[in-house]
Chain A
Amino acid sequence: MSAEAIPRVQLDHIAQLSQAAGEGEFLRRMREEARALLDPLVLPDRARHLWRYTNPAQLLPAHDPTEPLPLPLPGEWRQEDPAAAAVLVAGGAIRLVELSEEARRAGVVVEDLHRSQAAELVGSTVPARHGLFEAINAAAWRGGVLVRVPRGVELEEPIRLRLLAGPGGRVAVPRVLVLAEAGSSFEILEGHLGGESGAQVVGVSELLVEENARVRHALIQRWEEGVSGHLTTRARVASGARLQLALASFGGALYKADVGAELVGEGAEVATFGVAMGGDRQRFDHHTEHHHLAGKTNSNLDFKVALADTARSAYTGLIRIAADAPECEAYQENRNLLLSRGARAESIPELEIANQNVRCSHGATVAPIDPEQLFYLASRGLPRSQALRLIVYGFLDQTLARLPESTRQRLEALVAARLHAE
């Protein structure tokens, strides 16, 4: 094997990046430690389900993500009143933030994570040792956003973050930390969009959901054609807290998502509801994990995938219940609808149940479109393309109907737009 064949990740400007972003000692050291994990670079074991369907080498940054950006770094981020949408420039990367007046008055903070006092919480749910791409992110993230909702604050309007992929040849390395203090209740939409063909993304989001908080978080990926990326989201859910994770995957050429929650306190709940729609030659690989580390915790998962053309999807879902976590309930359902003969979907559930006093179930289906449904709708005057759209919309909407109204409306609009683009 020639030397060129060994995959490597170039991270030559970590100190410069950290300094320019105004980081303290904690983050700088975290970056260096993460880089050390990547030397030598060891690709993940492809025998494990997590990487069985996607070659990790295809997602490795092709360019040095720590390379200084041409954008001048302003001294601090700014939020322009009174516009609800604001631009946050953090570490030289631009983030779009929508935060209601209500949220600002209540003391909700959306700020530059590099300089934040909460920076020491970075890595709490996704440490650098989580995996290869998480280590790359830990070493090279830029444009980090902290969202902190104070204790007991309940918001009507959702908080929106829009994280843009870059031009071709550029690697975006976003990082989001959401801190939901005890008893807070809110909705947050994390949108990953934009980019040009050849752009790459290696993103990480961490959610800390404290006691009795209610968080509805949506991870919406609608990159432009030809973008590829890996996003990791992990939540820690404390006792009595409830987290709803909405997944919506539409864009990009190659997308791998690793999304999960740890239920660490009694009575904690997580529900992951998601939809993915692929066409052309898109490749999706979604992995979910629900870890029950405390008793009387609940998890539920409903993930639907619709594929056209020669699109492919892999879904692997792990439910893990610890030995000292009795009386848990965990459900998982993944359904895949194939709109063409060239589309392929895989669905692999994994259960690791160490406590017998639990209720747990899973179901998976992969099915082509039902010709009887098409004929029924055709007999009512609907042309094939419209009938297909209606069937797919209905298939996905059953899951979207479980989401809060504002998220549902947003995602329904995206599904409709994606259907009309077909």
Chain B
Amino acid sequence: MSEENRPLFSCSGVHVFIGEKEIVKGVDLAIPHGEIHAIMGPNGSGKSTLVAALMGHPAYTLEGRVFLEGEEITALSPDEKARKGLFLAFQYPVAVPGVTVASFLRAAVTARRGEEVSVREFRKQLLTRMEELEMDAAFASRYLNDGFSGGEKKRLEVLQLRMLEPRFALLDETDSGLDIDALKVVAKGINAAAANGTGILLVTHYQRLLNYVKPDVVHVFIDGRIAHSGGAELALTLEERGYDWLEQQAAMGGA
């Protein structure tokens, strides 16, 4: 495979286990530079497990291989993956009381870049990005996700996406729990990251985020596998017809 054709992100033969239980049952993905892919699927299909395991969540065992720009990252620790440029926006971001958003972000940006960032430059960038996401400047001095509303947490995930400038981002239900105005702001942040060269894999239960973030490919995830892949129009079909027809197809195909 030539340099140009090498996918930005790929994985092959990925199985994920919690203890003995198999949740993800063989996933192959190859996402080229400049594309946005979406994974849609019913609750409990294992799509959140897939992205958490790709990031290296310690509760999961991952089999298979994961590559970022051709470099195998399967065995790296989560923090090593992050420093290589992989990012996960959490469905349920974790609170770290006592640690301010600003001090956390500064530590994260420093880790990602591998060098100290000047306080001035950091402040300037932070305020610009917060303004883009329509966040009040006072937000920076609040404790990380501590007492945040659902919408605030999702905005903060997207703020991190913008500040860390990862090469590839896994976004887990970044649209859930948002009203329409917040959804538009979050979508704007995701599109800006994509325009800046970050590859995106969106995991979502609903089609509505895809009205604002246009995917190049939609994968339907059913029972731990990609049951079907198609273009952006597939999301609309799912919105109309639900997942039943694909679940039946998957059951028949899998038999």
Interface residues on B, range: 20 to 34
Residues of chain B lying within 8 A (CB to CB) of residue A383: 79, 111
Residues of chain A lying within 8 A (CB to CB) of residue B164: 380-381
Residues of chain A lying within 8 A (CB to CB) of residue B107: 380, 382, 386, 390
A366 interfacial by beta-carbon distance below 8 Å: no
Residue pair A398, B98 in contact (C-beta under 8 Å)? yes
Q: Chain B interface mostly helix, strand, loop or mixed? A: mixed
Please judge, given known A-B contacts A371-B58, A378-B77, A382-B79, whether A395 and B111 are in contact too, CB under 8 Å: no
B195 interfacial by beta-carbon distance below 8 Å: no
Residue pair B96, A379 in contact (C-beta under 8 Å)? no
Q: Which residue of B lies closest to A392 (CB)?
A: B98
Q: Which one of B58, B78, B90, B104 has the highest number of Cβ atoms from chain A below 10 Å of its Cβ?
A: B78
B1 interfacial by beta-carbon distance below 8 Å: no
Residue pair A376, B93 in contact (C-beta under 8 Å)? yes
Q: Which residue of A lies closest to B92 (CB)?
A: A372
* Chain A nearest CB, measured from B18 CB (Å): 14
Among the stretches B81-89, B126-134, B220-228, B245-253, the one at the interface with A is: B81-89
Instruction: Give the CA-CA distance A20 to B99 in the complex, in Å.
Output: 52
As a 0/1 sequence over residues 154 to 167 of chain B, the CB contacts with chain A under 8 angstroms (1 = contact) are 00000010001000
Residues of chain A lying within 8 A (CB to CB) of residue B59: 371
Q: Which one of B83, B98, B99 has the highest number of Cβ atoms from chain A below 10 Å of its Cβ?
A: B98
Residue pair B108, A380 in contact (C-beta under 8 Å)? yes
* Chain A nearest CB, measured from B62 CB (Å): 14
A30 interfacial by beta-carbon distance below 8 Å: no
Q: How many A-B residue pairs have CB under 8 A?
A: 83
Residues of chain B lying within 8 A (CB to CB) of residue A391: 96, 99
Residue pair A379, B99 in contact (C-beta under 8 Å)? no
Residue pair A395, B98 in contact (C-beta under 8 Å)? yes
Instruction: Give the CA-CA distance A387 to B135 in the complex, in Å.
Output: 26
B123 interfacial by beta-carbon distance below 8 Å: no
Residues of chain B lying within 8 A (CB to CB) of residue A376: 90, 93-94, 96
Number of interface residues of A (CB under 8 A): 25
As a 0/1 sequence over residues 50 to 65 of chain B, the CB contacts with chain A under 8 angstroms (1 = contact) are 0000011111000000
B47 interfacial by beta-carbon distance below 8 Å: no
As a 0/1 sequence over residues 381 to 413 of chain A, the CB contacts with chain B under 8 angstroms (1 = contact) are 111101100110111111001000000000000
Q: Chain A interface mostly helix, strand, loop or mixed? A: helix
Residues of chain B lying within 8 A (CB to CB) of residue A414: none
B70 interfacial by beta-carbon distance below 8 Å: no
* Chain A nearest CB, measured from B54 CB (Å): 11
Residue pair B97, A381 in contact (C-beta under 8 Å)? no
Residues of chain B lying within 8 A (CB to CB) of residue A395: 97-98
Q: Which residue of B lies closest to A376 (CB)?
A: B94
Please judge, given known A-B contacts A382-B111, A394-B97, A395-B98, whether A375 and B104 are in contact too, CB under 8 Å: no
Sorted from nearest, which 9 A-B pairs have the closest CB atoms? Answer: A394-B98, A381-B111, A394-B99, A381-B82, A378-B78, A380-B108, A376-B94, A398-B98, A378-B79
20 chain-A/chain-B pairs, Cβ below 8 angstroms: A376-B93, A376-B94, A377-B96, A378-B77, A379-B78, A379-B81, A379-B82, A379-B87, A379-B90, A380-B82, A380-B164, A381-B82, A384-B79, A390-B104, A391-B99, A393-B99, A397-B98, A397-B99, A398-B97, A398-B143
